Amino acid sequence: MINQVALLFFPLCMAFAAISDLTTMRISNKLVLLVTGGFLVAALLANLSLQDFAIHLATGFGVLLLAFGFFAMGWIGGGDAKLAAATALWMGVPWVLPYVVYGGLFGGVLTLALLMLRRFPLPVQLASINWIGKLHHHQTGIPYGIALAIAAMLVYAQTDIFVALVG
């Protein structure tokens, strides 16, 4: 039973991250800490060896460095950078590259779609919904957490942690 809860924890966090970023343009530090703490619990339940655990930590740290480089260039937000790193903990080395590639591809599609939609006026009914109006505004950023969550869910079922928990 506990393994099933652990299996569902990560997808629920990703769904919450995507919805939160879409509606508030924020990914909270508490959520990033939950994803990170959830990894620690899942790693214990999955019986990751100390070496595999260290590799997952190194993977997360590597993505943190890369993502904060993107943040420093203004390409993504700080919450996106932290979420990407916390998510990379769950991916590990074999699956971090597909995660990053999918995240980049979905992020690019999301960015282009929003930029195109922002060229057209919103219907009055939609403009009156606060988060939609904010999302449509040309000075608002891109809720990249959506792309990161989709990318994570495409890769998650193949990760060592998922396979071990299903075991």
Q: What is the pLDDT of residue 24?
A: 95
Q: What is the pLDDT of residue 148?
A: 98
**Alpha carbons 31 and 26: distance in angstroms, whole number:** 10
Total domains present in the chain: 1
Q: What is the pLDDT of residue 4?
A: 87
> Which residue ranges in the chain fall short of pLDDT 70?
none
Q: What is the pLDDT of residue 127?
A: 87
**Alpha carbons 45 and 33: distance in angstroms, whole number:** 18
Q: Has this prediction a pTM greater than 0.85? A: yes
Q: What is the pLDDT of residue 6?
A: 87
Q: What is the pLDDT of residue 167?
A: 82
> Tokens at residue 103, please?
């995240």
Q: What is the pLDDT of residue 25?
A: 95
Q: What is the pLDDT of residue 86?
A: 98
**Which range marks the domain in which residue 105 is found?**
2-166
Shortest CA distance to 142 belongs to which of 41, 20, 24, 25? 25
Residue 90 contacts residue 39 (beta carbons within 8 Å) = yes
**Alpha carbons 143 and 80: distance in angstroms, whole number:** 8
**Alpha carbons 23 and 19: distance in angstroms, whole number:** 6
Helices 2-24, 29-45: crossing angle, 10 deg rounding: 160
> Tokens at residue 150, please?
């989709």
Q: What is the pLDDT of residue 48?
A: 95
